[in-house]
Every structure is written in structure tokens, then in C-alpha cells.
Amino acid sequence: MNLPLITCAEEHNEKIAIVTDERAFSYRNLLHISSLIATGLLHDAEDLQEQRVAFLIPPGFEYVATQWGIWRAGGIAVPLCISHPRPELEYVITNSGASIIVAHPQFEDILRLIATEKNLRFILTSETLPNHVSPLPNVDIKRRALILYTSGTTGKPKGVVITHDHIQAQVTSLITAWEWTSDDSILHILPLHHIHGIINVLTCALWAGAECHILSKFDVETVWNRICEGELTLFMAVPTIYVKLIAAWEKASKERQKIMTAGCGKMRLMVSGSAALPVQVLEKWQSISGHFLLERYGMTEIGMALSNPLHGQRYAGYVGQPLPQVEVRLVDESGELVPPGIPGEIQVKSPGVFLEYWQNPQATDKAFRDGWFCTGDTAIVENDNYRILGRMSVDIIKTGGYKVSALEIEEVLRTHPDIQECAVVGVADLEWGERVCAALVLRSQRQLTLESFRSWAKEQLAVYKIPTRIIIVDELPRNAMGKVTKPKVVELFHIK
Ligand code: AMP
């Protein structure tokens, strides 16, 4: 029995699966090359039996063929992040207990050293592939498929273990909700060590028999060029990417802007997720592209959980309702369900929820309550739609006895004429418990004093929500996904 992803691909043999900067690859190519890679990985074994294979390959066909090769050989794929320095790569390789490392020649120096030191098998993607396919194992879909490393707010990243049937559940839920078909064509611009890029874009596309156009590197002009060509039907990105696309549109000539807008008009769906989408960005993007972005909410551990509807009414600032096969509830600190209008922790139950934190049963136990995964995110239901208030640990600030949402304050601060970007955090304080503080990126040539900022904010926010300290920075600290790293923002206030 083949894995369902492979069975789906076999139905689309001659269709284009992957398009890279250099050329197009059919599903047949992908099936063939991945079976050769699987053969090479197996060496003489019949089944890798869930050995972990860490791989570091830039976005492109080789990445996908290797990921499929690992799965087809019965291994667990551990994708490494191309922007990580050596200690972080080493941590993932060691923590996952990888026995094989596959590397693109671009990363040979750093990874060969690690492989030699740890006595691991080392394979370069430039090595010649076997000239025949050996019998590949039957991989049960209950087996582990992926380990994705996700950073908490404290401690080292944890390995989130996802099985083949979790992938199936996550992907089929999104295919149903967003009506993916084999006529779709998506531009892939997201990191390939993260759930958003791996599941929502790459695997959904290939499961549906669609075309996945992979950019080897994110570049805003290239993205616009591809949109202008008018061949794409779908686009998915994080809010920071939409911000960059907006900035490039604003700089373009009137003529070019028309072409850019027309390119967006050819698409059937544009999605934002992985971080809160500022309402201003949504509105600006709508005026440029004609698309009211579909915002969704998800997490490495659960896949996607909440989404605005494909056809129905979408609301700015809201992430809609539970996706197919997903149950969501909101509970208070004592574990009681909260009614609409009251904030609570998002808990999720679905066939897509991960299996375990890799070799960390304590953390796994702690993350579940009565079979529900506790996300650590807070939300509120208003008019039947969920609104995300932020991570309980960093975005829910307890100040002078009040509980305030950093995301809500940020949404207001972004309407200040001099503020381009902002991040609100709670900084430990003897008097207030936590003090509301804001790191601000100003528009060019603008200045702002705490006094003028606070007098403006008094007109917009309850007094206890107004930041009492501000720091002006050139840019906000962000991770590889472009998400603001709040613990680093807090550190800025400790340094000052
Ligand atoms: P990751 O596991 O890296 O995908 O991060 C998941 C976290 O991103 C969630 O726990 C949320 O805190 C945040 N997140 C994802 N989607 C959204 C969204 N639409 N709005 C606000 N936060 C989001």
C-alpha cells in the first residue's frame, strides 16, 4: 500500500507538479526521482523504520523529491532551516537523533563537519542516484512522517511529531475548505521547515494535483513579476510579506501598478496566516489587489484550526470558524468553557493534532487536557467569529490588575500617522506587575516623544492600555517566518 500522497500523485502523472527557476517537473518525474532517492537512502535495508533523516536543501525540486524519498523509504523527515547558524542546526540534528544527513552542496561545509563529528551517514544531493529502483516498503499511515521544530517562549525548541495520517487530515481539511483542485497553481515563497510552507502550500498543492511554483529565494520584485504573469490561482503568505508587496506596489509607476493589480485579479484566493494580520494591511491590500485576504489561524502542533470562509462573509481582524474535522473550544483558567464575548484559551481536538513532542513525554502530557490540545493562545468569539487576542504567555499582559491584549493595542498604535510598525509587550515591573511597553518603527523622517505619543493614545485607548515606555527601533526583531519575536522585544527594554 502506497502512502495516500503517492497514490494521489500517480493520478496526475503527466501533469506539472513543480516549477522552479530553471524548469518544470511532472508528477511522473517527482515519483521517479523520489523513488530513486528512497532507494539510495535504504542502502540495503528494506525499511528505514522511522530513522530520522535531517535535510538541508534550498526551496526547489530537490527539496520535495528528498522529502518524498524519505517518506517512501519509511523514514521521518526532519527539515532544517536554511537561515539557521551551526549551533541551531546541530541542536535539531542531535535532538531528533538523526542517523542520516542529506545536504545540498551549498551547505556541505557546515553539515559534513557535524556528520563526521557525530558519525552520521552523509549524503550530498549532487551525488549520482542509483540506476534502478529497489522495492520500497509499505508505510502505514499511522507512522511518524515529520518532526518540525517549534520555538516556545522559554527553553529550547521542541520537535513536533506529525504522522502521515495527521498530514492527510490537515491537508484534506484545507483542500475541502479552500476548494483546491488540480487546476490550481500556487507560488511558493515560504520557508520549507515550517508547517505553513510544508503543509498549507506544498503538500496541499501536490495532494490536489495542482502546480507548485517554487521560488528559490524570496524576492519582492520576482513575486510581483510572477503575479503579473497572471498564471497563478492561489497565493499564501505571512503578514510581513504582504507589507513588503504593498511597499513595492506603492513605489511602482502608475502603469506598472495597473498590471500588478490586474495580476492579482486573476487569482481566486489570497490567504494570510501564521501571525496576526493588521487590519490596515488587510485594507490596503484590498485596495491594491481587490482581494479581501482570507485570514486563518493555526499552529505547528495542530495544523490549521480556524479560517474565514472561502465564499461567505469574512471579517477584518477575525479568523472565522473551525475548519472541517476540527473542534475548537475556549476555556478559562479553571478549565471551564467560556461563553461568547469572554476571552478564553483556544483548545483544539482534531485528527490533525500532532502525536507528541519528540522524546519529551512530560511536555506532551502538559500540552493536553482531556484529549484537547491547549494552544496557549487566547481568543474571543464575537458575532460567531473568533478573534485572536494573542499568546497567553507574551501577548496577554497583566498590568495593575487589568488583563490587556498586546495585539489589540498594536492594532490601535498602527493608526498613528508616524508609526509604521509596532510590537507591544509586558515588561516585569514592581509597581504594575507588568508594564505595557511598545517598540516602535517610525515612518521615515518622523519623530515621536513619549509625551506626544501618550497624549495621542489617550484619545484612542483606555488609560491602563497605553504604553508607559516606548523605544524607537529601526526594525523589529523577527524569526525566519517573519514573525516578531516578543521575548527579544522584551529584552530591548531590559537593555535600555
Ligand atoms: P507556528 O507554530 O510557528 O505556526 O506558530 C503558531 C502561532 O502563531 C499560534 O500559536 C499563534 O500564536 C500565531 N498565529 C497563527 N496564526 C495567527 C493569526 N491568524 N492571528 C494571530 N496569531 C496567529
**pLDDT per position as a tens digit, 131-160:** 999 999 999 999 999 999 987 655 688 999
State pLDDT tens for residues 287-329: 999 999 999 999 999 999 999 999 999 999 999 999 999 999 9
The DSSP letter of residue 130 is P
What would the mean pLDDT of 115-123 be, rounded to a whole number?
97
Report in angstroms the alpha-carbon separations of 185 from 204, 222, 232, 481: 11, 16, 5, 22
User: Which run of H or of E encompasses 390?
Assistant: strand 385-391
- pLDDT value of position 496: 63
| Angle at 453 (CA atoms; ends 452, 458), nearest 5 degrees | 100
Structural domain contains residue 421: yes
Structural domain contains residue 140: no
Cβ of 300 closer than 6 Å to ligand 1, yes or no, is: yes
**Ligand 1, closest atom to CA 375?**
10
Structural domain contains residue 180: no
Between CA 115 and CA 99 the distance in angstroms is: 9
Between CA 287 and CA 309 the distance in angstroms is: 20
Which residue minimizes the CA distance to atom 8 of ligand 1? 274
Between CA 283 and CA 71 the distance in angstroms is: 41
**Ligand 1, closest atom to CA 272?**
19
Structural domain contains residue 182: no
Between CA 329 and CA 317 the distance in angstroms is: 19
Cβ of 319 closer than 6 Å to ligand 1, yes or no, is: yes
Whether the predicted pLDDT of 431 surpasses 90: no
CB burial class (10 A; 0-12, 13-18, 19+) of residue 467? buried
Distance 391 CA to ligand 1 centre (A): 8
Distance 284 CA to ligand 1 centre (A): 22
Between CA 224 and CA 221 the distance in angstroms is: 5
User: Which run of H or of E encompasses 109?
Assistant: helix 108-118
Cβ of 186 closer than 6 Å to ligand 1, yes or no, is: no
Phi first, then psi, for residue 327 (nearest 5°) are -105, 135
What would the mean pLDDT of 478-487 be, rounded to a whole number?
90
Structural domain contains residue 184: no
Cβ of 388 closer than 6 Å to ligand 1, yes or no, is: yes
Report in angstroms the alpha-carbon separations of 451 from 442, 457, 468, 471: 16, 10, 10, 13
Query: b/e for 2-17, b at 16 or more Cβ within 10 A?
Result: ebbbbebbeebeeebb
Whether the predicted pLDDT of 200 surpasses 80: yes
Q: In this structure, are residues 291 and 281 in contact, taking their beta carbons and an 8 Å threshold?
A: no
- pLDDT value of position 140: 97
Which residue minimizes the CA distance to atom 21 of ligand 1? 276
Helix (H, G, I), strand (E, B) or coil at 98: coil
* CATH code, domain with 484: 3.30.300.30
- pLDDT value of position 433: 84
Structural domain contains residue 134: no
CB burial class (10 A; 0-12, 13-18, 19+) of residue 475? exposed
Distance 299 CA to ligand 1 centre (A): 6
**Ligand 1, closest atom to CA 407?**
21
Domain range spanning residue 404?
396-494
Structural domain contains residue 172: no
Strand partners, 186: 212, 234
Structural domain contains residue 378: no
If one counts the domains in the chain, the total is 1
393 pLDDT band, cuts 50/70/90, is confident
Distance 297 CA to ligand 1 centre (A): 6
Cβ of 29 closer than 6 Å to ligand 1, yes or no, is: no
Which residue minimizes the CA distance to atom 4 of ligand 1? 299
Residue-averaged pLDDT of the chain: 95
- pLDDT value of position 59: 98
State pLDDT tens for residues 46-78: 999 999 999 999 999 999 999 999 999 999 999
